[in-house]
Amino acid sequence: MNQINPSEILFILNPHSGKKNIDIIRKNIMKVDPNLNLLISESKDEMRKKFDQQLDNHKVFVVVGGDGTVNEVAKYLINKSDKYLSVYPNGSGNGFANELGFKKDLKSLLRDILKGETIDLDVIEVNDSLCINMAGVGMDSHVAHAFSKSKKRGFIQYSILSAKTALNFKPFNATIRVNNTNLEGKYRMISVANTRQFGNHAVVAPMAKPNDGIFELVLVKPFPFYLYPKITALMFLGKKQKSRYIEYIQTKEPVIIQADYNDYHLDGEPVSFDGDVLLTMKHARVKVIRTSYNHI
């Protein structure tokens, strides 16, 4: 445990995450403690530039945003034993925040930060990029790409796009090299999980833990559309799917995915990869503030 001074905390506000007015959040932060430090960026490039200037001056970095902003900040904190990640969830899905017990309660969050208790989290390296929560290719990545182009945000819009994708998405061919075995076939989705959920409490990989040195693959084969409501309902109940259409694989070893569909997502952010995609587990690389609600 390392006691934290409020002057060592930096709140990083992303105005483009979620729907809540960032100015309201800023005012609420100042009400909790007017001495807290804020960084507001209008773009990723601006955030990188400002963050580089602030990194050495602070110990705890509180992301006010969603999984994509968490991903962006986590890149700077890898392998830094004196830098800690925290989150005030303000994204559309908030999968990482949900899994790590971060709530929209600034007073409780600040109390947890000041205690200075941390846990060491794994990250997944995807080619030369980083994933701290979940990555994937298929239906989920198609939704991520469509959602990034949408003017509307939030759970309702995400649900609409997910339903359209379930109706219209065409399965893709892929070969997965995992645990010295090649798996080949058609898939609707291949998820790579460091934690259990996409976001909005939709659990995809019920056995995944972000600090055990293992990541989980969830391979979803083409399934009849009439099963979609059942599969979705079980996800929100956090249940493992007992289905011949879904396979779960846990591994510590590197994995290679070869697919004829190139649109992926990393922590909900759309990316594209040509050729092989190499997945590598990096154990205990980022220190994250332990919250009162964290049961990991």
Tokens standing for residue 6: 């409020």
The CATH number of 6-122 is 3.40.50.10330
Angle at 71 between CA 68 and CA 73, to 5 degrees: 115
pLDDT for position 1 = 64
Cα angle, residue 149 at apex, residues 194 and 27 outer, rounded to 5°: 75
Residue spans of alpha helices (H) in the chain: 22-32, 44-54, 67-77, 95-100, 106-115, 139-149, 154-168, 228-236
Over the range 265-289, which residues count as b (16 or more CB within 10 Å of their CB) and which as e?
A: bbbbbbbebeeebebebbeebbbbb
Site of tokens 């925290």: 86
8 Å CB contact between 52 and 80: no
**Residue spans per domain, the chain:** 6-122, 129-283
DSSP calls for 167-185: HHPPPEEEEEEETTEEEEE
Check whether domain 129-283 has CATH 3.30.450.20, yes or no: no
pLDDT in tens, the chain (296 residues): 678 999 999 999 877 665 567 889 999 999 999 989 999 877 777 777 888 888 899 999 999 999 999 999 999 999 999 999 999 999 888 999 999 999 999 999 999 999 999 999 999 999 999 999 999 999 999 988 988 888 777 777 877 888 888 888 999 999 999 999 999 999 999 999 999 998 888 889 999 999 999 999 999 999 888 888 888 877 767 777 788 999 999 999 999 999 999 999 999 999 999 999 999 999 999 999 999 888 77
Whole-structure pTM value: 0.91
Tokens representing residue 27 in the block: 């005012």
Amino acid identity of residue 181, one-letter, is: T
So what's the pLDDT on residue 167?
83
249, two tokens: 């694989």
Whether 162 and 211 have beta carbons less than 8 Å apart is answered as no
Sign, Cα dihedral of 252, 256, 261, 265: positive
Distance set, CA 156 to CA 44, 161, 223, 229 (Å): 25, 9, 24, 16
The answer for residues whose C-beta is within 8 angstroms of residue 26's C-beta and 6 or more apart is 13, 38, 40
- End-to-end Cα spacing for the chain: 17
